[in-house]
Amino acid sequence: MLGCSEKDLIERTVQSITYPQDWSAFSRKLSQSFSSEGRFQKFEKRCLHKSGRIVWTESTASLIRNHNGEPLYFIGEVLDVTERKQAEELLSSVNRKLIEAQEQERTRIARELHEDINQRLALVAIDMNHISEDAGLRPGLRKRMGELAKQVEDISTDVHAITHRPHSSKLEHLGIIFAIRSFCKEYAEQQKVKIDFSRDEIPPAHIPQDVLVCLFRVLQEALSNAVKHSGARLFEVKLYREVDAVGLRVSDRGVGFDPEMTMKTMNQSGLGLVSMRERLRLVQGTFSIESKPNGGTTIDAPVPLGGSDSAATR
């Protein structure tokens, strides 16, 4: 697998054949196995081929102990999963381009709605108000025209709100905290619900732009799903910081659901969940749902700040 003979390997250490950026995570996993049940499964790390190229491996191991509980050796299996990882990287590249195209399309549509559709709606509302004020109209028709003009104004207000929802460029200039706070306020007013937003102290300069966009899109999708399906009127949003990660948590105290069944069917019907999971995967993040019937729901989305080389995939 690594182009080495048995003699070559005996003269080397595990660390020497492990890709340097993956050694820390792998050594922690080994250490944990000594103090736990002594097993780990499907741990992925990169190894160095004798030629210098990278070989992706997937390891499964069990620690064997003697009758006194002292560790003797590992029995393990190591698979070469390089082709699979290359295929995943190719798929990720395609998905990344699709998401970038989606962001560009969002910006284009928002600009057209603001500069064209919204202005035309405003002109229609003005003309209808003028007509409704015509003294020659019957009172019933004048009232009806006024009601229609009000509906057009409401539609224009909604379009205005959509065009001002922060997109990637606004996130870059205004920051994630401003964007989340503004969205929570506007969405709460629109949906007639209460959204409590809290945050840790997070230096925005430390968060890559693609991570900012990812977390904001996850917020939009998570809140939309929660408002639509939870039956709750109060929602909590938190932007939090860990030692080497930043994350978003969205929770409610609504009707809840069985997350295991939802995750099983998400590829068929839960396109929102699929979108959140895929966006997070592209920035090395994870996606988890905690919920139970009548017990509320919490969606948690942490993203490591070390980039793709921060650790091996767990």
Q: What angle do CA 10, 51, 48 make, to 5 degrees?
A: 60
Ordered per-residue pLDDT tens for the chain, 314 residues = 999 999 988 989 989 999 998 898 888 888 887 777 777 778 889 999 999 899 999 988 888 888 888 888 888 899 999 998 888 777 767 766 776 776 677 667 777 776 778 788 888 888 887 777 776 777 788 788 888 888 888 888 777 766 655 555 567 677 888 888 988 998 898 899 999 999 998 776 678 888 888 898 899 889 988 998 899 999 999 999 988 889 999 999 999 877 665 555 444 444 567 778 888 888 889 888 888 888 899 999 999 886 444 333 33
Residues 145 and 204 in one domain: no
Phi first, then psi, for residue 48 (nearest 5°) are -105, 120
Residue 268 within any structural domain of the chain = yes
Residues 48 and 71 in one domain: yes
Residue 278 within any structural domain of the chain = yes
Residues 265 and 314 in one domain: yes
Nearest Cα residue to 99 out of 265, 283, 223: 283
Q: What is the pLDDT of residue 53?
A: 92
Residue 1 within any structural domain of the chain = no
Nearest Cα residue to 174 out of 212, 201, 200, 211: 212
Distance between CA atoms of 29 and 43, rounded to whole angstroms? 9
Distance between CA atoms of 217 and 199, rounded to whole angstroms? 17
Residues 177 and 87 in one domain: no
Other Cβ atoms within 10 Å of 235 Cβ, number: 25
Structure tokens given for 29: 């996993």
Residues 152 and 284 in one domain: no
Residue 234 within any structural domain of the chain = yes
Provide the strand spans (E) within the chain: 39-48, 54-65, 71-80, 194-199, 234-242, 245-252, 288-291, 297-304
Residue 117 within any structural domain of the chain = yes
Domain that holds residue 205: 169-314
Distance between CA atoms of 310 and 297, rounded to whole angstroms? 30
Structure tokens given for 44: 């992925």
Residues 121 and 250 in one domain: no
Residues 195 and 133 in one domain: no
Distance between CA atoms of 2 and 50, rounded to whole angstroms? 6
Q: What is the pLDDT of residue 233?
A: 93
Residues 70 and 141 in one domain: no
Residues 195 and 302 in one domain: yes
Q: What is the pLDDT of residue 314?
A: 35
Instruction: Mark which of 164, 190, 222 sits at the end of a domain.
Output: 164
Residues 56 and 180 in one domain: no
Instruction: Mark which of 38, 58, 80 sits at the end of a domain.
Output: 80
Q: Residue 195, Cα to own-chain centre: how many angstroms?
A: 19
SS3 164: coil
Here the CATH number for the domain that contains residue 44 is 3.30.450.20
Residue 134 within any structural domain of the chain = yes
Residue 258 within any structural domain of the chain = yes
Residues 6+ apart with CB under 8 A from 38: 62, 63, 64, 65, 71
Residues 229 and 310 in one domain: yes
Q: What is the pLDDT of residue 135?
A: 62
Here the CATH number for the domain that contains residue 250 is 3.30.565.10
Provide the strand spans (E) within 179-296: 194-199, 234-242, 245-252, 288-291
Instruction: Mark which of 116, 139, 164 sits at the end of a domain.
Output: 164
Residue 176 within any structural domain of the chain = yes
Contact 297, 249 (CB under 8 A): no
Residues 139 and 246 in one domain: no
User: How many domains, in total, are found in the chain?
Assistant: 3
